[in-house]
Structure 1
Amino acid sequence: MDSTTAEVAYYFAPFLRVYTDGLVERLLGTDVVPPAMNSETGVSTKDVVIAPETGVSARLFKPNSVNPEKRLPLLVYFHGGGFSLCSPYCSIYHNYLTSLVLEADIIAVSVAYRLAPENPVPAAYEDSWAALQWVVSHCNGQGSEPWLKDHADFQRVFLAGDSAGGNISHNLAVQAGVEGLGGVKLQGICVVHPYFGRKSEDDVGKVDDNASGGRPDVRPGVDNRWLYVCPTTSGFNDPRYNPAADERLWRLGCSKVLVCVAEKDALRERGWFYYETLGKSGWSGEVEIMETEGEGHVFHLFKPSCERAVTLMKRIVSFINHE
């Protein structure tokens, strides 16, 4: 549906337009790939509703052939899209998770959280935490989902995500470290081209300054995009946006972290800053960083067969499967 009379109130170029009459026009990630059992890709998929009251759901991925005597690592994935685009069901993320599951030989749960602006942050965090709790409720053969009960190894649970999904993965790992996960310990998280706040309030940054109809930042050092999806934010010192402002950072609830950045990504410096900040936080785990030369933000989703995307995939697979 097009808006022909209303003006554009917010423009997240070139993917999202919101009009003054309330219409939200998404230009990326709106297609839906149906789930399929025993797909020719080598991976079976199914969809589950996790919280009917909020609509939180997920797509599950499982290799077609699973040894019943062998339990597989479990990955919980959070898609990117600036908290406002895409889903596990669109071709971008369905295809990526299919490839990752096949390459790594894992079980994956790709979470569909509610999107802004219809559901502003913190809805994405709340939904993702509810989904993670649902996943770990299957520990010790409990829960209702057989793919998790019968095939997932709850001693090898990982979180991962790209862009905003990397931000969500980090924040859930902090929450898990503070509140616990019913006895399940996260082994690691992988944040790919993560979306965090700037290094300092004086950092003008390379993106987002004009993401809201050409208006300048209304708060120093804070992206208009973050202000739009999270109107209740405290700004630069919001720990969800700026991990360096989080006094709980040292309690990150996993033993290892892989940070992936890209040379031509405008968020590159923020990924490096996260890596450096985590390393100095007092957290007892190990943090690694991988930089891909000559590529931009989430290039691997749009050029999955290129050599650098294959290299990135292999690094993530190694991170998950390394004992």
Structure 2
Amino acid sequence: MANRGEIIAEFPGGVVRLYKDGSIERCHGVPVPCSQGAFVDGVASMDITLDDTTGVWARIFLPDCAINDDSSVRLPVVIHIPGGGFCIGSPSDPEKNSLCRRRAVDTRSIWVSIAYRRAPEHRLPAGCEDCIGAIAWLNRIARHEIESQWLSQHADLEHCFLAGDSAGGNIAYQVALSAASSEISRAQGPAVKIIGLILLHPGFLKEERSKSEIENPPDLALVPADIMDQVSIMALPEGTNKNYYIFNPWIPDVSQVVLPPALITIGKLDKFYDRSVEFCRAMEAAGQDLEMVEYANMGHCFHLMPNFESCPEALDQSQKVVNFMNKRLQMLQAGSEADQVS
């Protein structure tokens, strides 16, 4: 391999390297293929292109209850945004693919996981814009402007959840803000309605280090503080720092929008712990509806780690997601029935 000169930023293990001359080296893992529509262990998966220009695509996970149960009942949809420091992370990664398969069954919902453009080839806000664009794509399906086999037949796009882990949580929050602030009129026809926000260990940061970034032990936190610096160099737009809005989401006018109720889970040993707690407090102060769940002895996104994915805390977190979704759906159903009676 040719000598490319000085490495100025590197994702752990050399997965992504950014060189001083601007060249990029990416070590591609072995992707998990979709099931091409065949059901395996109760879930079928299919890949679909959302934007021919950017190459953004999504993997759709359909649980077999959509086929085996009353086929006239449409399933809620979870729009999943994978994490990975904005530089890695795809629906075809083994751990992301496995997570979405499990959650589609557990939550009895269709999961749509977005393969957005990644840094440093595509610095922020590209990935965020791609995920906002995914909502526009779903709106077109809701309005029957385009067809998507599984979504057109089985999805209830008026009952959608946004979910993201780590950096995907950062993006999911911005997508929720965009949707809440959207000028799209429902008078134009059916549209996607986001009824819940699920942020699993979001990667919120500020330029100055927090106490948890400094003091939480890196082996237990699962993400050392210097990795945050490396990701910042690769993901942020030139001339910005970690106070960039997708890293640092404290927005003064958040009280001017009504976000969907949120479930936010965090590990107390996570380097991101302090900023996540600060974010939750700011959201509550702005009048937003949220539930924060802490795991005392856990680090960042432990549920994705092979040696933690079946631990009691991971199982509890999974159940919290199921309970949160069921509660939202039941409340909306109760409200709809009350409206019909009145």
Greater per-residue helix proportion? 2
The yes-or-no answer on 1:248 pairing with 2:253 is yes
Per the TM alignment, residue 317 of structure 1 is displaced from its structure 2 partner at its CA by 1.4
Which residue in the other structure is 2:30 paired with?
31
- Which residues of 2 match residues 1-323 of structure 1 at below 5 A? 4=3, 6-14=5-13, 15-20=15-20, 22-26=23-27, 30-36=29-35, 37-66=37-66, 67-180=70-183, 183=186, 184-198=192-206, 201=208, 203=210, 205-206=213-214, 210-211=226-227, 223=229, 225-232=231-238, 234-235=240-241, 237-244=243-250, 246-252=251-257, 254-283=259-288, 286-302=289-305, 303-322=308-327, 323=330
Per the TM alignment, residue 41 of structure 1 is displaced from its structure 2 partner at its CA by 1.7
- Size of the aligned set, in residue pairs, is 306
Report if aligned partners of 1:136, 1:182 keep a CA contact under 8 Å in 2.
no
Deviations 1:26-78 (A, max 9, x none): 47xx3211111233221000000010001010000101231312111111000
- RMSD of equivalent CA atoms: 2.3
Deviations 1:181-200 (A, max 9, x none): 553331011111101123x7
Report if aligned partners of 2:31, 2:93 keep a CA contact under 8 Å in 1.
yes
SS in 1 for 2:152: helix
SS in 2 for 1:259: strand
TM-score (norm 1): 0.87
Separation of aligned partners in 1, 2:322 and 2:294 = 16
Per the TM alignment, residue 107 of structure 1 is displaced from its structure 2 partner at its CA by 0.7
Q: In structure 2, do the counterparts of structure 1 residues 9 and 202 end up closer, same or farther at CA, with 3 Å as the change threshold?
A: closer
TM-score (norm 2): 0.82
- Unmatched 5+ stretches in structure 2: 187-191, 215-222, 331-342
Separation of aligned partners in 1, 2:230 and 2:161 = 31
State which drifts further: 175-184 or 146-155.
175-184
Any runs of at least 4 consecutive aligned residues in structure 1 with deviations exceeding 6 A, and if so which?
none
Report if aligned partners of 2:65, 2:108 keep a CA contact under 8 Å in 1.
no
Report if aligned partners of 2:106, 2:322 keep a CA contact under 8 Å in 1.
yes
Report if aligned partners of 2:24, 2:121 keep a CA contact under 8 Å in 1.
no
